[in-house]
């Protein structure tokens, strides 16, 4: 999933960039990717994730 990473104080947050997967505009707004497992339907707000930055 494409995400936008921003910093608040000493913490970093990843916010999902929503839209169709093939849209170039979602890539432009995103700063990285997170991987969500095959059988997982989503993540709880505040979950820790690993972001692969562009």
In this prediction the pTM is 0.85
| Tally of domains in the chain | 1
In this structure, the chain runs to a length of 54
Q: What is the mean pLDDT of residues 24-46?
A: 92
pLDDT interval class at 38 (50, 70, 90)? very high
29: helix, coil or strand?
helix
Q: Which residues contact 15 (CB under 8 A, 6 or more apart)?
A: 3, 4, 5, 6
Domain that holds residue 7: 2-53
Q: Which residues contact 35 (CB under 8 A, 6 or more apart)?
A: 1, 50, 52
């Amino acid at each position: 999933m494409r995400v936008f990473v921003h910093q608040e104080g000493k913490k970093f947050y990843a916010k999902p960039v929503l839209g169709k997967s093939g849209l170039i505009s979602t890539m432009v707004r995103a700063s990285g990717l997170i991987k969500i497992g095959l059988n997982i339907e989503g993540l709880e707000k505040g979950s820790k994730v690993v972001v692969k930055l562009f």
